[in-house]
C-alpha cells in the first residue's frame, strides 16, 4: 500500500492510515486498521516505515511513501514523502536522476559502475548490479522482447506511449545490445514521458502489469480511501519471462 507521509507535531513522519485493507472487497467485512510496528530501513526511504494490521482479516501491510516500491532501494520517480513534486528535476531523461533509472542514465553516457570508481558522479556499485537494474527497467517499460503484444499494448496505454515506439525498443533488446545501447534505448523512452502524464502511479501500474511487484493500492490523503490504480483498464497476463531473462552484452 502507498500512503502519503506527513510530519506530525513531534517531528515524526507518519502516514495517512487507510480505512480499509485490500481484503475488504473480497468479503465485505468492516476492516479495523491499527499500527502494528515500525519497519527499519537500511536504504531509502531512510525513515522507518509503518506496518499496519487489519484486525478483521488478520493481515499486516507495509505503508510505502509515494515514489517507492517493494524492495526498492531508491525511488521510482523523485517525489516528496507526501506525494508532492520535487522541483528542479532537470530536463528530459535527467528528470529521473536519483531514482531506479540511474543505471540506465549512466549507461547511456557510457559510464559503467565499478567498485573503486574515482568518478564522484558514478555509482560505486558493481557492473553486474547496473546490468540487473537495466534488465528490470526494460521489463517494466515493455522492452522485454518476449512479452505478448497485448502486454505491450497495456503498458503503452498505461504510460501512455506509442506501442510502435515500445516495439522499436524491444527490437533493440532482442539484438542483445551492449549496456550503453540498452541505456540509450531506455532513455529514449524516458524522454517521451511528458510532465503532464508522468506519475508514480502509472509506472507502478506498469511494474505490476509486468510482474515486478504485487498489485499496488493507494491511500488518499483527504478521505483515506484505499483504491487500486486509476490506470487499471486492461486485462493482461503475466509475462513469460522475468527481468533475469533479458540478455545484455557485457562488451
**Are 54 and 104 in a shared domain?**
no
Is residue 203 in some structural domain?
yes
Q: Which residues of the chain have pLDDT under 50?
A: 236-244, 250-251
pTM: 0.83
pLDDT value of residue 124: 67
Residues 6+ apart with CB under 8 A from 52: 1, 17, 18, 33, 34, 35, 36, 60, 61, 63
pLDDT at 243: 44
Q: Is residue 242 part of a domain?
A: no
What does the alpha-carbon distance between residue 174 and residue 176 come to, in Å, rounded to a whole number?
6
Domain that holds residue 109: 92-211
- Residue 238 within a domain: no
Alpha carbon 152 to its chain's center:
17
pLDDT, tens digit (0-9, with 9 covering 90-100), for 187-205: 999 998 876 556 789 999 9
Clarify whether residues 97 and 207 are in a common domain. yes
pLDDT at 87: 62
113 and 16 within one domain: no
> Could you tell me if 121 and 107 lie in one domain?
yes
- Looking at residue 120, what is its pLDDT? 60
C-alpha grid cell, residue 62: 507495509
CA distances (Å), 99 to each of 66, 73, 223, 242, 248, in order?
A: 13, 9, 29, 21, 21
What domain count does the chain have? 2
Residues 221 and 206 in one domain: no
Same domain, 196 and 220: no
Same domain, 195 and 107: yes
Residue 197 lies inside a defined structural domain of this protein? yes
Residue 186, in any domain of the structure: yes
What distance in Å separates the CA atoms of residue 161 and residue 170, rounded to the nearest whole number? 14
Amino acid at each position: 500500500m502507498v500512503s502519503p507521509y506527513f510530519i506530525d507535531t513531534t517531528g515524526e513522519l507518519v502516514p495517512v492510515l487507510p480505512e480499509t485493507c485490500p481484503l475488504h472487497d473480497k468479503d465485505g467485512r468492516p476492516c479495523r486498521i491499527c499500527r502494528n510496528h515500525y519497519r527499519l530501513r537500511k536504504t531509502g526511504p531512510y525513515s522507518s516505515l509503518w506496518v499496519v494490521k487489519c484486525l478483521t482479516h488478520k493481515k499486516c501491510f507495509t505503508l510505502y511513501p509515494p515514489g517507492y516500491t517493494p524492495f526498492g532501494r531508491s525511488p521510482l520517480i523523485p517525489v516528496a514523502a507526501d506525494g508532492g513534486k520535487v522541483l528542479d528535476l532537470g530536463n528530459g531523461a535527467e528528470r529521473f536522476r536519483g531514482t531506479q533509472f540511474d543505471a540506465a542514465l549512466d549507461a547511456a553516457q557510457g559510464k559503467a559502475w565499478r567498485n573503486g570508481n574515482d568518478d564522484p558522479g558514478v555509482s560505486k556499485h558493481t557492473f553486474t548490479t547496473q546490468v540487473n537494474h537495466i534488465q528490470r527497467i526494460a521489463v517494466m517499460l515493455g522492452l522485454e522482447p518476449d512479452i505478448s503484444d497485448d502486454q505491450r499494448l497495456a503498458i503503452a496505454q498505461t504510460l501512455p506511449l506509442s506501442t510502435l515506439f515500445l516495439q522499436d525498443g524491444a527490437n533493440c533488446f532482442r539484438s542483445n545490445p551492449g549496456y550503453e545501447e540498452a541505456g540509450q534505448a531506455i532513455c529514449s523512452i524516458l524522454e517521451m514521458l511528458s510532465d503532464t502524464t508522468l506519475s508514480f502511479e502509472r509506472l507502478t501500474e506498469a511494474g505490476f502489469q509486468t510482474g515486478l511487484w504485487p498489485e499496488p493500492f493507494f491511500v488518499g490523503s483527504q478521505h483515506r480511501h484505499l483504491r487500486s490504480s486509476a490506470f487499471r483498464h486492461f486485462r493482461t497476463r503475466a509475462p513469460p519471462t522475468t527481468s533475469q531473462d533479458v540478455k545484455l552484452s557485457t562488451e
